[in-house]
Chains A and B, each alone.
Chain A
Amino acid sequence: MRIFLKVWRQASPDAQGRFVDYTAEDVSPDMSFLEMLDVVNERLIMQGEDPIAFDSDCREGICGTCGFMVSGIAHGPDPGTTVCQLHMRRFKDGMRLTLEPWRARAFQVLKDLVVDRSAFDRIIQAGGYTSVNVGGAPDGNAVLVGKTASDKAMDSAACIGCGACVAACKNASAALFTSAKISQMALLPQGQVERFQRVVKMVDRHDEEGFGSCSNEGECEAVCPKEIPITNIARMNREYFRALLFSRD
């Protein structure tokens, strides 16, 4: 197959970006989307041109490194799929695709399709953990955790931190990302001690980093490669109000 690409090229954070046209030749349907881009880049390198910069690492959909917009959809058209797991059999010969980086105030473009997502780390830094040092943990079975709670916590914990939710949101909100971690901890007994402080600190940090507010459009849930449901955001809001009302700190 042959695919026509329109790719955002931007040399550095301060440089002016623009779309550049490329043609991907001899694309096989079994290739992943990123392997198709590898082939385009190989040709650019042989011609002595700067290849298209894009992030990727594990290429099996778990590290959360890859991600860009494929014709306006974060990670492309397949539901529940990162762009590294999107395969070219999904597309037809001769299709035209536009590739753009995540666009959000809190995610600066570093080069081409690569953005700075360090704001996510800072949100976790604010409270996305239990404050336990190594050494004194009680036996793993000392605290029982119901299977339902544990399964639900795992559903939320599955977030890979790729940033698709922010890119898809018209407000560039990171509510889905933030709420997934808050939910995981709120659902588990281990998370109870710091439950109130955690939600307030993380939500405040989220706002300070320049992410927008959630207005319940559900775009984030639609593109999330791990299909994290928007009910996490409802839980976060509930947790937040509860903390404001009942916290004694």
Chain B
Amino acid sequence: MTLDSNVPGGPLAEKWDRHRFESKLVNPANRRRYTIIVVGTGLAGASAASSLGELGYNVLSFCIQDSPRRAHSIAAQGGINAAKNYQNDGDSIHRLFYDTVKGGDYRSREANVYRLAQLSVNIIDQCVAQGVPFAREYGGMLDNRSFGGAQVSRTFYARGQTGQQLLLGAYQSLMRQVEKGTVRSLPNREMLDLVLVNGQARGVIIRNLITGELERYAADAVLLCTGGYGTAYYLSTNAVGSNVTASWRAHKRGAYFANPCFTQIHPTCIPVSGSAQSKLTLMSESLRNDGRVWVPKNPGERRPPQQIPEEDRDYYLERRYPSFGNLVPRDVASRNAKAVCDEGRGVGESGLAVYLDFADAIKRLGLEVIRGRYGNLFDMYTKITDEDPYRLPMRIYPAIHYTMGGLWVDYNLMSTIPGLHVLGEANFSDHGANRLGASALMQGLADGYFVIPYTLAHYLAGSTLPAVSVDHEAFREAEAGVQGQIDRLLAVKGSRTPRQLHRELGQVLWDNVGMARSEASLRTALARIPQLREEFWQNVSVPGPKNNLNKNLEYAGRVADYLEFAEVLTLDALHRTESCGGHFRDESQTPDGEAQRDDENFSYVAAWEFQGVGKAPALHKEPLTFEYVKPTQRSYK
């Protein structure tokens, strides 16, 4: 199968307009005849479901949480980018586009990124109209801050809870549609399979997480808005319920998985403290606006931070990257933190941490200004570590945070399965090999509010969609498969918990497919993963009822999927022998240790086709061409 990105012709700046005009439409009176399934209620899912409801489609909205308001977008802290140029500091749509393509290390599609930059300005307007309480200047105008990878201030924010406020805005719009009857909200439900009829995505098999019953839903199209796969690493900044299951099961039905090795490791997280730790907590990147990152100059330094004089401190980001300083992109910041810790200059008990110091900013701006900007983040840090960042520098370390890879989609956000659309973090399209800060919220909302209403109509109006009922053979077959897996999980009755096996897998991935990867480390992981999968199916313990709320059973099913998915992730990392963005291969670096791309051989999207569990997936390539931003060695010096 050839991968056609369906990018419209014409000059970059006119592509989206032109595409909207050329797309087919669905008559308003006919929209209610179409049923659309939206899985997930994060920024992408909630905004898609509410927008489609507003247009008059019959929408079924599913989420695994007990309310759509709890999807993990809620935890995003720092902000959302938009090319408004309210600060008069040289921003423009083209600059946001340029920064995003460059920040993604030239592994994203130019046309998609340009559209994202164009739509960014509409998102802010929409959210303001919804009553999102963005930060304001004293004169009443919207306030901005700057973020990593950019030299302009284009990030809009609501204290350190921007994701929460944007999600609640989308959730409230969704609830408005529920009240109107266009959207049916179905929380506490997990998608366990995708149903294809005549090769088109026509429904889902859902497990009701309260009753344990399997339910069938038919539709004319399915939208997956189910987030990333960072939890494959066990410890990550994702919610403990975030998972790869919906994406993975769609992959097993024929949706290609693109660039899974592009994982983002966020530089500013609270370091690991003990073996019972269930997740890592992110400290927003916005902290790097005012905080200075440093480690002691000498390995083995034992003095507490406040007693280490200036001349014995190494502000290594400011030293190595004078023009971007502490605001280098995430991949660069993370790799440098690892490098100084590998040199033995890490701080804290484990030696796996660096300082993020606010002493200078407090001196310059005063305590109250810092409290106003970061108060809730500082409180969170204090709660977790029992230390006061107003007096002592924070200790931070990188952690898995976001995944740029995801299901392959074309310009219309449609996967390789007709009718299956993928939005937000779950798709691969806009961030290339590295995502810039404050761009995830932008992409989720652009996909849901402004892209899918057009591209979905185009699909529906241009497709033959015969009526399908849930009694169709394809539903029966899919449900039997899901039931079979649940029965197998319950039947093992072994002695190891899903969590133990998940933690082991996570350690294998972090050690071998983490911040730096080599052929040897990747081969180690590839040998270990099938063994863990075998161990899981021989020895997992899943007690408790099948037909009732059973969180351990839900979790076991997700761990089973990580154990399959991890192999594709590792294979992708092995095949891509270049370094780019968040994917750093030891074998491919510049003399001064920066990532060395190989545009001649790897300027493409790697899309993997499922061939069976434990079998090597087939690789398909979508070549990337750059007409408007010429790929160069990324430099932040």
Question: Which residues of A are at the interface with B, using a C-beta cutoff of 8 A?
Answer: 11-12, 28, 30-32, 34-36, 38-39, 41-42, 44-46, 48-51, 53, 55-65, 78, 80-81, 85, 87, 89, 110-111, 114, 116-118, 120-121, 124-126, 128-134, 137-141, 143-147, 150-151, 153-154, 157-158, 160-161, 184-185, 188, 190-191
| B592 interface hit (Cβ, 8 Å) | no
- For B239, the chain A residues whose CB sits under 8 A away are 57-59, 63
| B142 interface hit (Cβ, 8 Å) | yes
- For A58, the chain B residues whose CB sits under 8 A away are 70, 72, 74-75, 239-240, 279
A144 → chain B closest CB, angstroms: 3
Residue contact A134 to B54, C-beta cutoff 8 Å = yes
Q: What are the 4 tightest A-B residue pairs by CB atom distance, in nearest-first order?
A: A144-B140, A129-B172, A50-B544, A137-B129
Within 8 A of A (CB), among B93-141: 122, 124-131, 133-141
B265 → chain A closest CB, angstroms: 18
Of the candidate stretches B10-18, B61-69, B596-604, the one touching chain A is: B61-69
Summarize A's interface: helix, strand, loop or mixed.
loop
Residue contact B65 to A145, C-beta cutoff 8 Å = no
Question: Which residues of B are at the interface with A, using a C-beta cutoff of 8 A?
Answer: 47, 50-51, 54, 65-70, 72, 74-75, 84, 86, 122, 124-131, 133-142, 156, 158-159, 161, 164-165, 168, 171-173, 175-176, 178-179, 185, 187, 210, 239-241, 273-274, 276-279, 281-282, 379-380, 383-384, 386, 449-450, 453, 493, 495-500, 541-545, 548-552
Residue contact B175 to A111, C-beta cutoff 8 Å = no
Residue contact B67 to A161, C-beta cutoff 8 Å = yes
Residue contact B134 to A116, C-beta cutoff 8 Å = no
Residue contact B386 to A89, C-beta cutoff 8 Å = yes
Do A124 and B175 contact each other (CB < 8 Å), given the known contacts A130-B131, A147-B138? yes
**Set A46, A59, A64, A154: member contacting B133, Cβ < 8 A:** A154
Known contacts A41-B552, A59-B240, A59-B278; 6 further A-B pairs (Cβ under 8 A): A48-B493, A55-B66, A57-B70, A110-B210, A132-B130, A161-B69
B225 → chain A closest CB, angstroms: 16
Do A144 and B141 contact each other (CB < 8 Å), given the known contacts A59-B278, A110-B210, A121-B69? yes
**Set B66, B125, B127: member contacting A116, Cβ < 8 A:** B66
Residue contact B386 to A190, C-beta cutoff 8 Å = no
Do A35 and B131 contact each other (CB < 8 Å), given the known contacts A45-B552, A58-B72, A116-B66? no
Residue contact A190 to B541, C-beta cutoff 8 Å = no
Q: How many angstroms from the CA of A184 to the CA of B13 in the assembled complex?
A: 38
Q: How many angstroms from the CA of A87 to the CA of B134 in the assembled complex?
A: 31
Residue contact A147 to B172, C-beta cutoff 8 Å = no
Residue contact A137 to B128, C-beta cutoff 8 Å = yes
B500 → chain A closest CB, angstroms: 7
- For B130, the chain A residues whose CB sits under 8 A away are 129-130, 132, 190
- For B241, the chain A residues whose CB sits under 8 A away are 57
- For B542, the chain A residues whose CB sits under 8 A away are 45
Residue contact A65 to B65, C-beta cutoff 8 Å = yes
Do A35 and B499 contact each other (CB < 8 Å), given the known contacts A134-B453, A140-B84? no
Residue contact A62 to B173, C-beta cutoff 8 Å = no
Q: How many angstroms from the CA of A61 to the CA of B499 in the assembled complex?
A: 22
Residue contact B500 to A42, C-beta cutoff 8 Å = yes
Q: List 23 A-B contacts (CB under 8 A).
A: A28-B276, A31-B277, A38-B276, A39-B276, A46-B541, A51-B544, A53-B551, A58-B75, A59-B281, A60-B281, A62-B74, A63-B70, A78-B383, A111-B548, A121-B178, A121-B185, A130-B129, A134-B173, A137-B128, A138-B125, A141-B142, A147-B140, A184-B133
- For B74, the chain A residues whose CB sits under 8 A away are 58, 62-63
Q: How many angstroms from the CA of A239 to the CA of B296 in the assembled complex?
A: 57
Residue contact A125 to B384, C-beta cutoff 8 Å = no
**Set B122, B126, B175: member contacting A129, Cβ < 8 A:** B175
- For A53, the chain B residues whose CB sits under 8 A away are 549-551
- For B544, the chain A residues whose CB sits under 8 A away are 50-51
Residue contact B541 to A87, C-beta cutoff 8 Å = no
- For B384, the chain A residues whose CB sits under 8 A away are 85, 87
- For B550, the chain A residues whose CB sits under 8 A away are 50, 53
Q: How many angstroms from the CA of A132 to the CA of B68 in the assembled complex?
A: 19
**Set A28, A38, A80, A133: member contacting B499, Cβ < 8 A:** A38
- For A55, the chain B residues whose CB sits under 8 A away are 66
A235 → chain B closest CB, angstroms: 15
Residue contact A45 to B497, C-beta cutoff 8 Å = yes
Q: How many angstroms from the CA of A24 to the CA of B540 in the assembled complex?
A: 23
B10 → chain A closest CB, angstroms: 24
Q: How many angstroms from the CA of A35 to the CA of B235 in the assembled complex?
A: 13
Residue contact A137 to B126, C-beta cutoff 8 Å = yes
A222 → chain B closest CB, angstroms: 18
Residue contact B138 to A190, C-beta cutoff 8 Å = no
A39 → chain B closest CB, angstroms: 6
Residue contact B175 to A125, C-beta cutoff 8 Å = yes
B278 → chain A closest CB, angstroms: 5
B6 → chain A closest CB, angstroms: 23
Residue contact B136 to A121, C-beta cutoff 8 Å = no
- For B171, the chain A residues whose CB sits under 8 A away are 124
- For A50, the chain B residues whose CB sits under 8 A away are 543-545, 550
Do A145 and B383 contact each other (CB < 8 Å), given the known contacts A118-B67, A134-B51, A190-B128? no
**Set B122, B279, B281, B497: member contacting A137, Cβ < 8 A:** B122
- For B277, the chain A residues whose CB sits under 8 A away are 31, 35
A27 → chain B closest CB, angstroms: 9
Q: How many angstroms from the CA of A44 to the CA of B550 in the assembled complex?
A: 13
- For B453, the chain A residues whose CB sits under 8 A away are 134
Residue contact A140 to B273, C-beta cutoff 8 Å = no
Residue contact A34 to B549, C-beta cutoff 8 Å = no
**Set A34, A121, A145, A157: member contacting B140, Cβ < 8 A:** A145
Residue of A nearest to B70 (CB): A63
- For B84, the chain A residues whose CB sits under 8 A away are 140
A232 → chain B closest CB, angstroms: 14
Residue contact B131 to A138, C-beta cutoff 8 Å = no
B63 → chain A closest CB, angstroms: 11
Residue of A nearest to B551 (CB): A53
Residue of A nearest to B82 (CB): A140
Residue contact A51 to B281, C-beta cutoff 8 Å = no
Residue contact B138 to A133, C-beta cutoff 8 Å = no
Do A184 and B65 contact each other (CB < 8 Å), given the known contacts A59-B278, A62-B161? no
